[in-house]
Each structure stands twice: as C-alpha cells, then as structure tokens.
Structure 1
C-alpha cells in the first residue's frame, strides 16, 4: 500500500494543514508522498507580476511557512514532497527551500526543479487553436503576462527516480502531483491507462485539500461536520492493483463519507466520461464508491483512455482596471439611505464623466446573486436591515478614472448626503485568461537536481 497525502489545495491555504497529514503518514509507517497544490488559473499571472517586481519572487508566498514545520520529518522518514508552488519562478522557489533546509541542518536535501511549462517566449499563441470554451474571449490586442502549459507527471517521475526529496514545479496538472509518486513507486507504465486513471482520480479527489474531507461540504444544521476549525486534510491509500481509498489525517476534524467524496469527484468534471488530463483521460461513468469504515471511502470502477495529443496552455493578459469602494450605513432608515447613497454614487460618476462601467451591491441585502443593475435591492420590500455595506465596483481602461470613481465613497464619509462610515477603496489590475491547445512535443521539460548544499 502507498499513501498520498495533500497539504494544500490553493495558494493561501492553511499553513498548518500539512502538519497532521505528515504525522499520520509517519505513524502509518507505509511508503508515502505529500503534495501541495497551490496554483489556480490566474495564480501564475499574479506570480509573474511579482517576479517582474523582484526576480527572486514569483513563487508561492507562503512556501517557507508551509514547509518549515514538516521538511525535516519528511526528509528523515523518506516522504518526498511535490508541489506546483514554483508558480512563475521554480528556480527561486528551489533556492528558498535550499536556504530553509540549510537552516534546519539538512544540507543533503535533494531538490529537483522542473521547468518548461512557461511557454510565453517559445510559442506563438497566434498559431494555436483556442480552447473551445474560450473562443468568445478576445485578447488579440492585450499584453501577455504569462503563458503556461499544463505539464504531466513524466518529469516529476524522473525527478523522484533521481532521488529528489522535494520536487518544485510550475504549472502542472493537479492530478499529475499524485500520479507521479504512484508511478515512481509502483513502476506503472505511462501507457497503463487503467492504473493512470486511478492516479488521476486520486489527484482529483485530493487536489482541493479539505474540500473532500468536509470543507465546502459543511452546511451547519444540514450537513454538519465535527471540529471544523481543525478540519483534516485528505490522504489516499493506493494499492499496486489500483485500489483506492480516501481518508484523512488522524486526530483532526471534518469527515470523509460518500457525500463528501461524491461532491469532490464531480467538482469541475464537465464530462464524466472524459476528464482530460495530460497523462490520461479519466472516465468515471462506471465509478462506484463504498464506505468501508469511519472516514474511509473506497473508489471502484475507474476507467482510463490514452492521453491527449494536445496540452492546454492558459495565457493571461493585462486586462482593464478594477476600482472598488466600500462604505457602511447603519441605524434608522438604513435601506432608504443606502439606496439613495447608491444613486448618488452613480450620479457622481456620471457628473464627473469618468469612463467606467459601474456596479453597486448592498452587502447584507443583495450582492452575490444580484445583477449589475441592482435589481434585487431595488425591488426589496422586506424587513428593515440594521446595517448595510455599500460596495461600488467599477471597471475601465484608465487606471486614474477607476481610482477617482472608487474614491467617491470617501466623500460620503463625513459630509456626504447620508451618514456613513468605514470607507475603504482600492484599485487593482484585472487579468484576462484565455486557453489554447498546443502539441505536447512543443513543450519540452527539464529536470535539475541539486542538494541544498550545492544550491545558491
């Protein structure tokens, strides 16, 4: 039996999450690996902007906090760590880990850096077919920020076979982070589609961290979970024959049951018969799941088909600007004052001739499900809320226009037409993403292995 644990499901996940996972892996005493998944579709673009500001940045900002409590234990117990936490700058991430290893007295820690996913300078996107879901998005005149291919498990397997204790990658597919240690340990062939399907399902079920162990599932009073403040991150038990059981870290909250596994299994699965990854096409239409113990769910009936000839490339472009301003209204006649204040804000943008597209939300009354025109809060006739937060959001091509629009909430703070408080505003760049398809032979990868002692 081989154990695969997950210690992060996105950039900014709980920095203490890997600790109980590693403790459980050690306690179980079986061969094991840990992976951290920290990249979303736009995370690489934001990381690339950080790298522009500082050549030694552009990787997962919480990397040292995530690894510091577990690195020595994983090294001494032979648990390799894999992650796409290199983001836009895997070499800098590797140097950060090397510095941490030396401080922890681990100069012999071997760190593999996987590069090649960054194709911004090597591929002409204009020659590539656009991914069908993004055909309506126009990015022809926008400035490219990042272009990264979703690479598969092969270079990660190579790194593990070379003896890497930590594998640092950029934009991998999420399932590849689980497939790689399984292939390296069991010696599965990279065209054994049934086994790779199990690996892909394992990675897919674990990739979002606590989502499969009760996180997003939690709905107090309807779908309760124990000790949500200490929710446990998941661990998979994978057999050489392709058996798969999902469980979680010991001595933690949350739960793993048929419902949580179903929710995560269907997450982002547009076609259950064809979940495309760089390594295998996963088919879950014959999948069966079975509760085999407390916090233990077995997954059966997975099928796999040959890997696709094309890899997905997600390109990120400089978009427009987002201006946001917020201010609170409370006390008697709150709703009327909030609606009137919202109308004043819109009128002010019009009077000043600011070239922006505005939206106002009354947070606490209608925001998440409302339209840009505020249909829900305009029509609201219910009970008077005790307080509301007015959020003005604007989008525009000119940064100064967006900044000036967002600042209009400040004029309301002291001497505006309605008593308000707690004004905040900011302006941030917007990122436009568009996906393309590229022949996999156009995305060569490189693995570089050095010890922490050797790495500067």
Structure 2
C-alpha cells in the first residue's frame, strides 16, 4: 500500500456524528478513528461501571456504530476507537449487537484490554501530592495507563474490522494502523515520530478544519455550521497531506495545522508517547492546493519506557447555583447577591473546602476591577467544593432563596449538586502494563 487514508470520526466524547458518517460514506477511507476519551471521562466511566458492570463505555457508542458501520463495511473501512473507556469488552459486545441488528455478519470486533492498572497503582507516586496512590485509600476510583500501539496492532494483524480499547495515547489510535499497514519496525523512531504527528493533527477532529480556530473578523472560517472532519493521506515514510471532503464546511490551511500541532503538547521537541518520543521542531507545512496541506519533517527518538497513568479519586462534592440580574445597577446587585450567599452559608456552618462567587460577563474568566457601568446584564454564579453532599446542596439552596430574600430583579435561578471525581497523574514502567485482545465474529443468530 503506497498511500493510507485515515479519517477522524470524533475528537471527544460529545463530538458531532454527521461528519463521521460523511467520511464513512464518501471518504474512501482505509481507517476511521474515533478518539472520544478524556482524563475525567474514564474516571467517570469507571464509576459508572462499578454501579453497573454492563456499562462503563462511551454512551454514544451505539449511536455512532449504528450510523457508520453500514458504510464502513460496504467500503472496507476499518474502525479503531477508545470508546471502550472503562469497559472495552462490553463495548465490543454492544458493537456486535448493533452489527447483528443491522444484518452485518462476518464482522470481526476486537476489544483491547490491559490499561486498567488499579490493582497495582498503590506503590507509585502521584505527581500532584508526592505521595503514593495508596494514600488515597477508599477514595481511589480508577487508574488507567496510557497504552501504546501493541494491543491495537495485534488485533489488526489478527484481522479485526473494529478495534475498541480503553485508555490509550490519543495519537496511538492513528499510529497503530500505520505500523500495521506499512510494517514499520518498533525502533524506526523517525517514522514512528511522523506517525505520531499525523495522529496528533487528526485526534481533535474538526479543530484542524477550522473548529476552535474560528475568530470572526480575525480568522474567518467558511460554512462553519457544516464543518467537515479531517482525513490524512499518509505515505509509507509517514509524510502526509491533511485535507477534508469536498463540499464540507471549514478549511484546512497552514495556520489551522500549526495551531493544532501546538495544541496540548508540553514540549514540541520531546513529545512523550508510549512508543516513541516525537520531535516536531523541524515540521514543515506547505499548502499544495485548496484545503490540502502537506506535512513533513517530524522525527523521533527511543521511548522513555514509562507510561503515564491517569488516577481518578473522590474529592468531595460540588454544589452550584446561578441567578441573573439585568438592567441598571445589575453589577452591584449581583455583587450583593454573592456577599449574601457567602454570609448565609457561613451562618449555616456548611462544610466548604473551597468556593468562588463570580459574575459571568464581568469577572468569571478575566478579573475586572472596574466593570463598565454600561453592562446590561450579569449572571451570578456561586460554586463550592464541599465535604459532603448535604453541604453541596446548601449552595444551590441559598442561591435559589435569593428570589425573595436577595437584591431586586433576580431571575432564572438554577442549582446542581454532584460528586467530584478528581484526576491525578503518575508514571509506571511500561514493562508492568501488558495488553491483550479478545476478538469475536458477528454471526447470524440461530432461528
């Protein structure tokens, strides 16, 4: 194979499904990749699985598979995804059930496991606290290592049409098909580094086609409402052309590619990945046609032998309340509302760990010492992390009570309470994390 066509079906759990369907139907893809897993996402998925062992995978898995499987099977497109989250085996079962319901038999679906390291994380130090994870005791919810390509490649080599994993390095989802199809050696650091760049450019889907790039009057993006997801045409050396389907909205330019390359990487000279340390410092982007950008120049070096582990733990309860004030003197009325809630919570001796009161539109993101007198409306928000659920509920109660016992004109109050699942990080030797896969073929059900 001289050129491999890889498309990005999703860049996060809540991503739009329609662009993935378009890629599946018109993209002439070899692979469609769904990257749907965030750090808190998997901790919450582990929490869901503990309550119901049949859950714990991406809640949109069934909808996505139902939407794209027919076209993928028809066009010979293979799927790789981390929508397995905390339960890849159940996700694979769900996918097979969807395929069976759609009449798509002889489809091989593999679940890659091994990233769950909760049973051995205790002795490893958390970066945020300097203490071993075992110090969290019964607050510990999850521990998932960022695995590399090995389990994914093994499943592809065994003939899997759909490969579902849990916590993997995002670019590894894209690197695995490249290694499998082109037969790259595991120590071919430069090609692996280029493959990681391709994965990093595609992993956030529409971000490289103009989403999260658009800034009206500064960086205008055409037809953003119908933005298409990207695809890459990758050669056997790992160089690529980033593009999108004709007729879709958005744009692929040198600027969109540069912004995405620099997104969420600590050091572009040493981008640490499970399989390689990628070096993006000499990358070149060249526009070779409308919505076609040629990418080259990435290299790589030997991997560190360590894997990042995302550790989820219970960290109290979160309570929030919001209420709006509009018209003359709204900033002063919103400020008074904050002080009233704070004082009343103090009188109730609520167990607050940390809190903040703010006026959305004034100081919720960018502090403003002298807000304009011309501000027409504000949204007061009071939020706190609390020791227990009862204390968290008190936050919203006091905001709602402002209707009749607060400043004039308050309206549209809302409140919410939830348990906090926080995230910490650790490192674990890659040798202690072994991946494997289980593959089953979709068969006709017996009559």
TM-score, shorter chain, exceeding 0.5: yes
Assess, with a 3 A threshold, how the Cα gap between structure 1 residues 301 and 381 changes in structure 2: closer, same or farther. closer
Unaligned runs of 5+ in 1: 371-375
- Per-residue CA deviation, residues 250-292 of structure 1 (Å, 9 max, x unaligned), is 3211111111100111112211110011111100111111111
* Distance in 2 separating the partners of 1:423 and 1:240: 57
Q: CA deviation at 1:337?
A: 1.4
Structure 1 runs of 4+ with >4 Å offset: 135-139
**Matching residue of 2:72:** 74
Q: Is the 8 A contact 1:193 1:306 kept in 2?
A: yes
Gaps of 5+ in 2: none
TM-score (norm 2): 0.95
Shift in Å, 1:455: 10
| Structure-2 separation of matches of 1:25 and 1:187 | 24
Deviation at 1:186, TM superposition (A): 1.2
3-state SS in 1 of match to 2:426: strand
Show the counterpart of 1:112: 110
Q: Distance in 1 between matches of 2:296 and 2:110?
A: 33
State the shift of 1:136 in Å: 5.6
Q: Which residue of 1 aligns with 2:278?
A: 282
Q: Provide the TM-score with structure 1 as the length reference.
A: 0.93
Aligned equivalent of 1:306? 302
Deviation readout 1:186-217 (Å, 9 max, x if unpaired):
11112211111111101100001111111111
State the Cα deviation string for residues 367-412 of structure 1 (Å, max 9, x = none): 1123xxxxx3xx3241332221110101121221111122101111
1:247 touches 1:256 (CA, 8 Å); kept in 2?
Answer: yes
Instruction: Work out the number of aligned pairs and report it.
Output: 441
Q: How do 1:234-245 and structure 2 match up within 5 A?
A: 234-245=230-241
Give the Cα separation in 2 of the matches to 1:307 and 1:24: 37
- RMSD, aligned CA: 1.8
* 1:272-327 Cα distance to aligned partner (Å, 9 max, x none): 11001111110011111111111111111111111221111111111121111011
What residue is the counterpart of 2:425 in the other structure? 435
* Structure 1 CA distance for aligned equivalents of residues 317 and 412 of structure 2: 23
Whole-angstrom distance in 1 between the partners of 2:337 and 2:261: 45
Which position in structure 1 is the counterpart of 2:42?
44
Aligned to 2:13, the other structure's residue is in SS state coil
Aligned pair partner of 1:450 in 424, 434, 440: 440
Per mean C-alpha deviation after superposition, the further-off stretch among 17-26 and 79-88 is 17-26
Query: 1:369 maps to which residue?
Result: 366
**Which residue does 2:287 correspond to in 1?**
291
Q: 2:357 aligns with which of 356, 360, 364?
A: 360
Contact 2:151 2:435 in 1 (8 A): yes
User: What pairs up with 1:143-292 in 2 under 5 angstroms?
Assistant: 143-292=139-288
Q: Aligned partners of 1:394, 1:184: CA distance in 2, in Å?
A: 49
Specify the alignment match of 1:141 in structure 2: 136
- Distance of 1:93 and 1:454 partners within structure 2: 19
Quote the Cα distance in structure 2 between the aligned partners of 1:97 and 1:21.
19
Q: Secondary structure at the match of 2:395?
A: helix
In structure 1, the partner of 2:326 is 330
